[in-house]
């Protein structure tokens, strides 16, 4: 059975091959006729269609040799004894006699299998190939003019004009991109293209008859001559800048249009930090490693290796030293999006507590001859110093207490909102008292925040205890002026909040200190005015934000003390928002070198001497007016009778190409009007492009209207006053 199957397949392949050999010469002849009559493009289409038709016909004819054909061939040869149908039937469905006959036929076919392949049609093949090759020879070798006519080059001068304009039969543009882009060679029939920078362009044009000369005319005035080779007019160039061009020949072409070449420059690679997520990372005590991950992307490809720059800062204040290192990393992933990972050993880098480790990745692309580079943003690892770690463990220190202050403003807002909801159930006097109590809490909180700006407590100094005065605290004289006068005394509530008293009774030596008391610790080992010194640790922006929060607290306090919590809530919410900004500040920056300001002349300070002071008004720089020739050209384009100077427009466009919104569109409009001088749509298109290119006039200040009689008398009275 396998022998029969192989013979059947050989017969089908023989039928397909015979069909192809019979059809190929006619497809070749049709292609040659199309090349002679319609040009290269049409010839390619005809040849492709002819080959596809031959293949389809061969496949269809081979399928005609089906199972029924095989049965007829076997029965007709007598080898199957008219039992070929038993060979393709299901053996399980046959009776014993049919199975015996089927085995007998298979054995006979194995001994002597008839020839199933069709014979070669030698005469038909010979006639087809002779006829096809003859048609090809006639199409290629048939002269373009009559035998008795003279050659076109030696014809009379007037014969070229009488023959009519030239026509482009075929166009082909080959684009060889630079090797670093990895793009394959592209061949297209269209003359418009968008190519990579530094691509090599090869033009191949065919005319219906040989012109005297031909060239490519670019919009910037450059010419690229076309050289004839085997009937093809060819030229080569390198794409560096976007250009417009058209095909020009002598005699002129019947129809020509502008073609656009857009050049895509290679972009520099970009690097994105994947890990860590923030640019500033606070290390943990005892941290030994730091993981980094980056992703570099480029339009054509990133180099497989990158350089990781590592800078370690050591010291503090003005004695800071920098140690720089670099590590070469190997990337993974696709060439257009590579990933780089590295884990820094902090001990090997010599990073100590209080140091900063700064990392930045630099990658290069595959641009030739000079690669382009790109860098990531810097990521910083700050290792905590011993002082910071100690401050994190001890409670009661100033820096540790600061976040606790931040949480109390929210409680004031909650108390005020609860008081507003209870207004109907409270008497008016009780409502005002509770609102005043919340205002006192707001004032205490404001005074606490003021210490971090270097401010002192408010109020009059506390009188010392005498025999004539009671030992209780005297009522403090609150100062609610806008300047926040800061004396060294404070009222009782403020002293309770701050934990220090300048005028009160000093603690006796016999009084034992209370363990854990912030007041005793500060009085024993320091002075509570260190808050003012801590204020210098805040950068100017943080200080300004905290000052804005104090201003909002002042307004909220005033409304609460007057029994108006509804009006105090907006100020309290703004204060909370400012406090959150201060809480989220990541780093405290200190100026390494003081600003070099000019010395202040104390002799002129507040003296009223205005000698040498000049006017603060800055002179207005005159704006360059637009080119009057361009305005005139724009006006002429609106008048159909006055054509503009296109050469002047083209030169102006080339000089100002860097400042125009779309220089190529303007150049295309100029060249199109040059090709079709009578085209109204081309004039309007150029006029619209010029309008976009013209500078917009600056808005002028409106002159003040003249004063009326009453206003003039008022102005005269002002001038008459001494």
Whole-prediction pTM: 0.46
Place of tokens 């002075």: 527
Residue 294: in which H helix or E strand, if any?
Answer: strand 289-297
Identify the pLDDT of residue 701: 72
Give the contacts of 620 (CB within 8 A, at least 6 positions apart): none
CB-based contacts of 9-15 (< 8 A; 24+ apart in sequence): 10/116, 10/117, 11/65, 11/116, 11/117, 11/118, 12/62, 12/63, 12/65, 13/62, 14/117, 14/118, 15/58, 15/61, 15/62, 15/64, 15/65, 15/118
How much is the mean pLDDT over the chain? 75
Q: What are 541-582's pLDDT values in tens digits?
A: 778 888 898 999 999 999 999 999 999 999 999 999 988 887
Give the contacts of 386 (CB within 8 A, at least 6 positions apart): 353, 354
DSSP codes, 548-595? HHHHHHHHHHHHHHTT-HHHHHHHHHHHHHHHHHHHT-------SS--
N- to C-terminal Cα separation, the chain: 132
Rounded-to-integer distance, Cα 408 and Cα 151, Å: 104
Rounded-to-integer distance, Cα 701 and Cα 683, Å: 35
Residue 166 φ/ψ region, left for φ over 0, alpha for ψ in the -120 to 50 degree band, beta for the rest: beta
User: How many residues are present in the chain?
Assistant: 722
Rounded-to-integer distance, Cα 477 and Cα 540, Å: 32
Which stretches of 310-385 are DSSP H helices? 346-349
Residue 404: in which H helix or E strand, if any?
Answer: helix 398-421
Q: What are 674-717's pLDDT values in tens digits?
A: 877 778 888 888 888 888 777 666 666 777 788 888 888 888 88
Give the contacts of 586 (CB within 8 A, at least 6 positions apart): 280
DSSP codes, 488-510? S---HHHHHHH---SSSPPPPTT
Count CB neighbours of 382 within 10 A.
18
**Rounded to 5 degrees, what angle do the CA atoms 130, 132, 135 make?**
110
Rounded-to-integer distance, Cα 338 and Cα 271, Å: 10
Tokens (6 digits) for 213: 């000369």
Identify the pLDDT of residue 645: 79
Which stretches of 287-372 are DSSP H helices? 346-349
Whether the Cβ atoms of residue 24 and residue 47 lie closer than 8 Å to each other: no
665 phi, psi to nearest 5 deg = -65, -40
Beta-strand ranges (E) seen in 48-96 are none
Could you list the mean pLDDT of each consecutive 10-residue stretch along the chain, which spans 722 residues?
A: 70 85 89 82 87 89 79 66 63 69 69 71 88 85 52 42 72 91 90 91 90 88 89 91 88 82 90 90 87 92 92 72 89 91 90 87 90 91 70 44 54 90 88 90 87 58 37 34 35 37 40 42 40 54 85 92 92 90 58 54 67 69 70 79 77 79 81 80 84 71 81 86 68
Identify the bridge partners of residue 51 per DSSP, sorted by sequence position: none
Name the 3-class secondary structure at 535.
helix
Whether the Cβ atoms of residue 672 and residue 258 lie closer than 8 Å to each other: yes
Beta-strand ranges (E) seen in 346-407 are 356-364, 373-375, 379-382
Residue 106: in which H helix or E strand, if any?
Answer: helix 96-111
Residue 32 φ/ψ region, left for φ over 0, alpha for ψ in the -120 to 50 degree band, beta for the rest: alpha
Rounded-to-integer distance, Cα 79 and Cα 88, Å: 15
Identify the pLDDT of residue 646: 82
Dihedral angle computed from the Cα positions of residues 9, 14, 17 and 18, in that order, rounded to the nearest 10 degrees: -150
22: nearest Cα among 48, 52, 49, 57:
57
């Amino acid at each position: 059975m396998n022998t029969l199957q192989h013979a059947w397949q050989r017969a089908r392949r023989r039928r397909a091959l015979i069909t192809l050999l019979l059809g190929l010469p006619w497809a070749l002849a049709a292609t040659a006729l199309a090349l002679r009559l319609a040009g290269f493009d049409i010839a390619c289409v005809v040849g492709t269609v002819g080959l596809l038709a031959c293949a389809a016909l061969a496949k269809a004819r081979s399928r005609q040799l089906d199972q029924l054909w095989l049965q007829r061939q076997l029965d007709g040869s007598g080898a199957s004894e008219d039992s070929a149908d038993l060979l393709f039937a299901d053996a399980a469905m046959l009776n014993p006699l049919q199975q015996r006959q089927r085995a007998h036929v298979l054995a006979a076919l194995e001994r002597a299998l008839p020839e199933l392949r069709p014979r070669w049609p030698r005469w038909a093949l010979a006639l087809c190939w002779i006829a096809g090759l003859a048609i090809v020879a006639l199409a290629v070798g048939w002269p373009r003019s009559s035998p008795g006519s003279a050659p076109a080059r030696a014809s009379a001068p007037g014969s070229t004009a009488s023959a009519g304009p030239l026509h482009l039969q075929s166009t082909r543009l080959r684009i060889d991109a630079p090797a670093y882009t990895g793009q394959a060679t592209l061949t297209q029939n269209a003359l418009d293209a968008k190519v990579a920078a530094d691509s090599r362009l090869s033009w191949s044009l065919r005319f219906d008859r040989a012109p005297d000369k031909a060239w490519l005319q670019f919009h910037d005035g450059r010419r690229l001559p076309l050289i004839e080779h085997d009937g093809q007019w060819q030229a080569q160039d390198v794409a560096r800048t976007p250009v417009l061009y058209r095909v020009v020949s002598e005699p002129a072409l019947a129809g020509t249009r502008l073609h656009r070449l857009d050049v895509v420059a290679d972009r520099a690679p970009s690097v994105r930090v994947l890990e860590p997520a923030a640019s500033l990372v606070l290390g943990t005590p005892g941290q030994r490693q730091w993981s980094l991950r980056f992703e570099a992307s480029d339009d054509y490809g990133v180099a497989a290796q990158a350089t990781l720059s590592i800078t370690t800062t050591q010291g503090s204040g003005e004695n800071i030293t920098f140690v720089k290192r670099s590590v070469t990393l190997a990337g993974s992933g696709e060439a257009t999006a590579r990933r780089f990972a590295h884990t820094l050993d902090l001990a090997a880098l010599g990073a100590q507590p209080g140091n900063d480790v700064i990392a930045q990745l630099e990658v290069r692309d595959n641009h030739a001859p000079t690669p382009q580079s790109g860098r990531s943003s810097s990521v910083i690892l700050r290792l905590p110093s011993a002082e910071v770690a100690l401050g994190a463990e001890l409670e009661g220190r100033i820096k540790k207490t600061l976040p606790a202050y931040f949480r109390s403003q929210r409680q004031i807002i909650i108390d005020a909102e609860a008081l507003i909801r209870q207004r109907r159930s409270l008497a008016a006097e009780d409502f005002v008292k509770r609102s005043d109590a919340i205002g006192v809490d707001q004032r205490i909180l404001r005074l606490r925040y003021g210490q971090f700006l270097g401010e002192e407590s408010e109020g009059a100094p506390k009188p010392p205890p005498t025999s004539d005065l009671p030992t209780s605290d005297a009522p403090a004289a609150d100062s609610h002026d806008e300047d926040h006068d800061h004396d060294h005394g404070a009222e009782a509530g403020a002293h309770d909040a701050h934990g220090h008293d300048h005028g009160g009774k000093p603690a006796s030596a016999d009084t034992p200190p209370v363990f854990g008391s912030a007041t005793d610790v500060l009085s024993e080992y320091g002075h509570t005015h260190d808050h003012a010194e801590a204020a210098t640790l805040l950068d100017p922006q943080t200080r300004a934000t905290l000052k804005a929060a104090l201003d909002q607290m002042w307004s909220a306090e005033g409304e609460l003390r007057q029994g108006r919590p509804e009006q105090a809530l907006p100020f309290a919410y703004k204060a909370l928002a400012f406090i959150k900004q201060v809480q989220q500040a990541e780093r405290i920056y200190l100026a390494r070198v003081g600003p070099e300001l000019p010395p202040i002349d104390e002799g002129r300070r507040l003296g009223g001497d205005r000698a040498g002071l000049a006017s603060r008004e800055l002179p207005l720089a005159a704006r360059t007016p637009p080119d009057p020739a361009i305005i005139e050209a724009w006006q002429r384009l609106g008048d159909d009778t006055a054509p503009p100077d296109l050469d002047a427009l083209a030169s102006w466009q080339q000089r100002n190409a860097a400042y125009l919104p779309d220089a190529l569109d303007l150049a295309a409009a100029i060249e199109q009007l040059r090709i079709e001088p009578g085209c109204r749509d081309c004039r309007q298109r150029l006029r619209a492009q010029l309008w976009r290119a013209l500078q917009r006039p600056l808005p002028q200040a409106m002159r003040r209207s003249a004063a009326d009689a009453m206003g003039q008398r008022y102005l005269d009275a002002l001038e008459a006053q001494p």
